[in-house]
Structure 1
Amino acid sequence: MTAPTTPTGAGEPTASDPAPGGRRVRHRVRATLLLTGLTAALVAVALVSAGLGAYPVPVDQVAASLLHAIGLDLGTPPDRIGQTVLWDVRLPRVTLAVAVGAALGVAGAMMQGIFGNPLAEPGVIGVSSGAAVGAILVIFSGLTVFGHWTIIASSFVFGLATTLFVYVFARSHGRTEVVTLLLTGVAVNAVAGAAIGLMTNFSQDAQIQTITFWQLGSVSTATWAKVAAITPCLLLGLAVIPLYARRLDLLALGEGPARHLGVDVERMRLVVIAALALLTSAAVAFAGIVAFIGLVVPHIVRMVTGPGHRILLPSSALGGGLLLMSADLLARTAAAPAEIPLGVVTAALGGPFFFFLLHRTRAKQGGWS
């Protein structure tokens, strides 16, 4: 009696069907290289950015000053003027740019995961505009109920309300439609623009200048106090990563399979939406409307490491900080001594990328008609 035969290739991996263990190892290697590369690039660009400006400070002196601040007497720090420029002007700006970029990068990745839509991004679907309305309303009315936190609180409430509205309105038969999401974003941006225009029309000259700052985006008014204020918001938003990254991966399989695997989908949505609204609102409160960071960064990360959120979310934080800091460096040096609004730079970079994603998504779905 002969033993039963198995189909050719069954039971053992081939060159075209690598072993799962090998794939996992390669994935970990790519993830480690990506996180290490992003961290190294972030530090390098930060040192360069902190040294460039009207009063240049060499990179080695910037590094020496930072090392001296943590008790390591290595290198030669800059002179007194250089130290003042570095610690009172440049470093707060660089740090705030990294924090805002990290918040927007993670918020974009979370939004794409929870909406199940690759074109979701706080600026595109109107969440940033909604949060800006809350911030500008505080400026226009002069409210100071919570002191420096009033703008953040108002921005968060409006940002959360906008996120929930877009999410509910764009959902249909258990999924988020691409066209509905984009059209909802157009409508929300239009309504928010009308509200901002109305408040601008009845504002004083000083208020108009501040409102213009929110509309164009900038981190030029960065201070250590603002860095300290945005840090708790950023940490609370990032705290979602270890708790819900794996569950977002399961949600990508569909709501039904995710529930069968033990995921409380509705609870997860509420937590993730609150986190991304907090991140977006904090970014808008301190830097104004800065679009496309949350769209560009997660897609670039996915091209390198795949869609797994355990790597995607922290990589989007690092990549967002790196991209926004680089954009701010370009904004303040490309036309020196004048400064290009930060939102203009990110829109110029992100707009063409959005067209590319729009075309690719439509081609994959075979059209939207």
Structure 2
Amino acid sequence: MNPRPAGPPPKKTRPRARDGRITSAAYIALVGVLIAGLAASVLLGTVDIPAGTVFRIIVQHLTGQEDPTEWSASQDTVVWNLRLPRALLAALVGAGLAVSGAATQALVRNPLADPYVLGLTYGAAVGAVAVIVTGVSPLGGASTGMAAFAGALAAFAVVYALARAGGTLAPLRLILAGMAVTYALSGLTSFLVLQADDPGTTHSVLFWLFGSLAEANWAALGLPAFVLALTMLALLAQARPLNTLLLGDETAAALGISATRLRRHLFLLIALLTGVMVALAGGVGFIGLIIPHAARLLVGSDHRRLLPVAALAGAGFLVLVDIAARTALHPQELPVGIVTSVIGAPLFLWLVHSRARDTTGL
């Protein structure tokens, strides 16, 4: 038998190169899906407008080079003031909820966690439903959104206080505190709905609870865009500590990372991001649960790749869901939360079945 040649074994570089190619392909595919979805969302609707006219309307508003007399004022309003801001809001909300879900799963080291588990969504629901049912609107049209945001922050404060009763933010204590607050707020929301005597008010409440993008406008895009960008930068700056957190608190401590302090920062970022998105779109479920799983299938659990891919996937997913919600039962519009649940449940089961287990359990 020939002896094994002396010297160190050759370095294996192919897996890393392959991972890079997969990540690049995922970025390209998801950007393509998002662009196609945004285009379809602007083109499709109850009012039939030729694609060329839609394109010229957008160009005219962006550059002022087209002649606005070539189309009617109603067409201009439908494209520029209704469809385009709604499509962009869907992308922002989808990205925000997906990023929030990925961060929540790292926070509690549980692949079944999402912002619903921490009580943030139902906190926002209580605030919004209270405004809708009572009719008290001190801020006019912005009252519902501001009340929802305040409710999410209030739920965050309660969960944080309960979870920190032992001095540390342990993952199990966070989940238990979040579930307890969620059940309590769910009962309070149901009680408020029962107090609504007007069927129209009840319908508005239920439509908001199931998620809706019908109130989208240009003024509503600035805040979610800013909060999403701020949160993404903060999370990407902590990507390595997030990866370490998945290995356990003892490993994180051995590497000089305070798990409690990191969870505190994560919890604040998740509450801010979820509160803003839910305040604008209502209770859109399943995105924070299934999109991070799908992203991990594509690029793994490294948050430097996971967070951007989850944001792109969530944006494209909700844009496509919104198209289905507007057109599936034309002329009736479905709440987007119903569509995400119908699509998300079987998709999540498929992801759980097909996904290989890794050392982190995520």
- Do they superpose with TM above 0.5? yes
Question: Which one of the candidate residues 236, 241, 258 is aligned to 1:247?
Answer: 241
User: Which of 196, 213, 224 is the aligned partner of 2:189?
Assistant: 196
Task: Give, in angstroms, the shift of residue 197 of structure 1.
Answer: 1.6
Deviation, 1:133, is 1.6
Alignment of 1:75-154 (within 5 A): 79-80=71-72, 81-123=74-116, 126-141=119-134, 142=136, 144=138, 148=143, 150-154=146-150
Alignment CA distance shift 1:290-1:31 (3 Å): same
**In structure 2, C-alpha distance between the alignment counterparts of 1:335 and 1:266, rounded to whole Å:** 48
1:70 aligns with 2:62: yes
1:97 CA displacement: 0.9
Partner of 2:20: 28
Where 1:53 maps in the other structure, the secondary structure is: coil
Question: What secondary structure does 1:161 align onto?
Answer: helix
1:151-173 per-residue CA deviation (whole Å, 9 max, x = no partner) reads: 2541331342365378669x999
Secondary structure of residue in 2 paired with 1:291: coil
Q: What is the CA–CA distance in structure 1 between the aligned matches of 2:117 and 2:6, rounded to whole Å?
A: 48
Q: TM-score, normalised by structure 2?
A: 0.83
Mapping of residues 122-271 of structure 1, within 5 Å:
122-123=115-116, 126-141=119-134, 142=136, 144=138, 148=143, 150-161=146-157, 164=160, 175-176=171-172, 181=175, 187-203=180-196, 205=198, 207-271=201-265
- Return closer, same or farther for 1:120/1:357 CA change in 2, 3 Å cut-off: farther
Structure 1, unpaired ranges of 5+ = 1-5
Q: Deviations over 1:189-228 (max 9, x none)?
A: 4322210121122235254343222212111121222223
Displacement of 1:240: 1.9
Q: Distance in 2 between matches of 1:137 and 1:10?
A: 73
In the aligned structure 1, how far is the partner of 2:25 from the partner of 2:87? 24
Offset, 1:8:
8.5
Given that residues 299 and 306 in structure 2 are in contact (C-alpha distance below 8 angstroms), is that contact kept between their aligned partners in structure 1?
yes
Distance 2:286 2:123 in 1: 16
Judge conservation of contact 1:124–1:291 (CA < 8 Å) in 2: no
Match of 1:294 among 269, 277, 288: 288
Q: Structure 1 residues 232, 360: CA separation in 2 closer, same or farther (over 3 Å shift)? A: same
Paired residue type of 1:120 = A
List per-residue Cα deviations over 1:103-155 (Å, max 9, x = no partner). Answer: 11000000011111111112356432232123323444525379656325413
Residue 60 of structure 1 contacts residue 75 of structure 1 at CA under 8 Å; is this kept in 2?
no
Matched, 1:11 2:4: no
Check whether the contact 1:123–1:292 (CA below 8 A) recurs between aligned residues: no
**TM-score (structure 1 length as normaliser):** 0.82
Contact 2:170–2:260 (8 Å) recurs in 1:
no
CA change 1:265–1:59 in 2 (3 A) is: farther
Is 1:349 the counterpart of 2:346 in the alignment?
Answer: no
User: For the residues of structure 2 that align with 1:313 and 1:293, how far apart are their CA atoms?
Assistant: 14
Aligned residue pairs total 352
2:331 aligns to what SS in structure 1? coil
Secondary structure in structure 1 of the residue aligned to 2:301: coil
Q: Which residue does the alignment assign to 1:52?
A: 44
State the SS of the aligned residue for 2:110: coil
Residue 333 of structure 2 aligns to a residue whose secondary structure is coil
Q: Tell me the equivalent position of 1:309.
A: 303
- 1:332 deviation in Å? 0.8
Which one of 320, 329, 337 corresponds to residue 323 of structure 2? 329
For 2:201 and 2:97, locate their aligned partners in 1 and report how far apart those are by CA, in whole Å. 26
Shift in CA distance, 8/144, structure 1 to aligned 2, threshold 3 Å: farther
- Once residues 271 and 116 of structure 2 are traced to their aligned partners in structure 1, the CA distance between those partners, rounded to angstroms, is 12
1:61, 1:77 within 8 Å by CA — same for their partners in 2?
A: no
**SS at the partner of 1:70?**
helix
- In structure 1, the residue corresponding to 2:221 is in which secondary structure? helix
Does the Cα contact within 8 Å between 2:123 and 2:154 map onto a contact in 1?
yes
1:267 alignment partner, SS class: helix
Superposed CA deviations along residues 3-47 of structure 1, whole A, max 9, x for unmatched, are: xxx98998324xxxx71x433322222222212221121111101
CA RMSD of aligned residues (A): 3.6
Q: 1:204 to 1:175 in 2, by over 3 A?
A: closer
Q: Is the 8 A contact 1:218 1:343 kept in 2?
A: yes
> For residue 37 of structure 1, what is the aligned residue in structure 2?
29
Contact 2:107 2:263 in 1 (8 A): yes
